[in-house]
Amino acid sequence: MMPCFRIGKRYIGEGYSPLVIAEVGINHEGSLDKAFQMVDDAALVGCECIKFQSHIIEDEMVPSAQNIIPSNAEESIWNIMKRCSLLEGEERELKKYVESKGLIFLSTPFSRAAALRLERLGVEAYKIGSGECNNYPLVELIASFKKPVILSTGMNDIASIMVSVNILRKYQVPFALLHCTSMYPTPYDKVRLGALHQLKAAFPDAVLGLSDHCKTIYPCLGAVALGASIIERHFTSDKAWPGPDIPISMDPKELGELIYGSKAIYKALGGTKDILPEEKPTIDFAYACVVAETDIKQGDILTETNIWVKRPGTGEIPASEYRSILGRKAKSNIFAGNQIRWEDLL
């Protein structure tokens, strides 16, 4: 059976249109008003799922993190998360607002305390980030909640992913694996969409997808063509806003294009190389049939001089049969420009 699972009423996996996740993350910079605006803007362009991050700093990091500056930022990871983290009441309010718009609320917990908070909030599924893919104690805690898990796999190889997958399997948790490159932004030549094939071979029971950090939606559309069932990209209402993830974020217009494009590509997948009944009207004018190039008298032999192939395709003898009737005799007179019929031949 094709792997799939359900978050709320939304089925995800092979056989279903790709789920596009708008990754707000910390682009709200700690402002609920900004977060609400991004929810509104995502909903307006047809987004089904919007994702945030849950940070409880003291349970997530040790004080020395105040000296660690990410490659896509100019301040320490501690200061960024301290400024951008939401209180539990704020996250509850945000989840309620997302769901009032008919969207799926997801959030990535970065600590034990954050995972327990999300469980108290009653989330329907969990997103685990690439940095936590090999944080096996946290993966096991989340798996113990027995809810679907979407796991990003940046900075991890098959062996380290396998440990987390086996934890999810142990708890019989439905799961998805998102290929990811943890570079901000990711150059096209580092995306490595071929990894989707590798993940499919190694984890046939996993729903697959892509979490992308490029500056355009093109790799995401390519991933859909390769069978990705989940697409995740950072999202903002305004690219002029401050924030370390804003330069790799899509705006509402790009989100709408990604949603539309992923659905279009999904519909175009599959099928076989057969002639469709719907192609018949085109066949009628686009095919060629055998016609008389000159007047042909009864008894004349058909040659490359007196017969050829021309449109439309409404005659009895298609162009594919041209060679087979060379050398046959005319049973009756055939006028130049007429389509030749089988009954005209001896």
User: pLDDT per residue over 195-252, tens digit each?
Assistant: 999 999 999 999 999 999 999 999 999 999 999 999 999 999 999 999 999 999 999 9
| Cα torsion 136, 142, 148, 149: sign | negative
Other C-beta atoms lying within 10 Å of the C-beta of residue 112: 16
Task: Tokens for 295, please give them.
Answer: 């007047």
Using only the alpha carbons of the chain, give its radius of gyration: 30
Judge whether residue 282 has pLDDT over 90. yes
- Please name the residue ranges forming H helices in the chain: 32-44, 57-60, 77-84, 88-100, 112-121, 136-143, 158-170, 195-202, 218-225, 252-268, 280-286, 322-325
Which amino acid is located at 209 in the chain?
G
**What pLDDT score does 174 carry?**
97
pLDDT-derived band at 67, boundaries 50, 70, 90: confident
Judge whether residue 1 has pLDDT over 80. no
Q: Are 252 and 42 in contact (CB under 8 A)?
A: yes
pLDDT-derived band at 80, boundaries 50, 70, 90: confident
What is the average pLDDT across 130-138? 98
Q: Burial code of 157-176, b = ≥16 C-beta within 10 A, e = fewer?
A: eeeebeebbebbeebebbbb
Which amino acid is located at 11 in the chain?
Y
The DSSP result for 18-40, as a single string, is PEEEEEEETTTTT-HHHHHHHHH
- Distance CA(202)–CA(161), nearest Å, equals 10
- Distance CA(292)–CA(339), nearest Å, equals 7
- Distance CA(62)–CA(78), nearest Å, equals 9
Which residues, including other chains, have CB under 8 Å from residue 208's CB and lie 6 or more apart? 176, 177, 178, 179, 196, 199, 200, 227, 228, 229, 230
Ranges of CATH 3.20.20.70 domains, the chain:
13-268
**What pLDDT score does 69 carry?**
87
- Distance CA(46)–CA(44), nearest Å, equals 6
Q: Are 311 and 286 in contact (CB under 8 A)?
A: yes
Complete edge-to-edge strand list for the sheet that includes strand 19-25: 104-109, 49-54, 19-25, 230-234, 207-212, 175-180, 149-152, 126-128
CATH class in words for 13-268: alpha beta
Judge whether residue 65 has pLDDT over 90. no
For 277-344, CATH number out of 3.90.1210.10, 3.90.550.10, 3.50.50.60, 3.40.630.30 equals 3.90.1210.10
Ranges of CATH 3.90.1210.10 domains, the chain:
277-344
Q: Burial code of 32-61, b = ≥16 C-beta within 10 A, e = fewer?
A: eebbbbbbebbbebebbbbbbbbbbbeebb
User: pLDDT per residue over 160-196, tens digit each?
Assistant: 999 999 999 999 999 999 999 999 999 999 999 999 9
- Distance CA(262)–CA(220), nearest Å, equals 8
Judge whether residue 73 has pLDDT over 90. no
Q: Which helix (H) or strand (E) holds 246?
A: none
Q: In whole angstroms, how far apart are CA 32 and each of 28, 36, 95?
A: 7, 6, 11
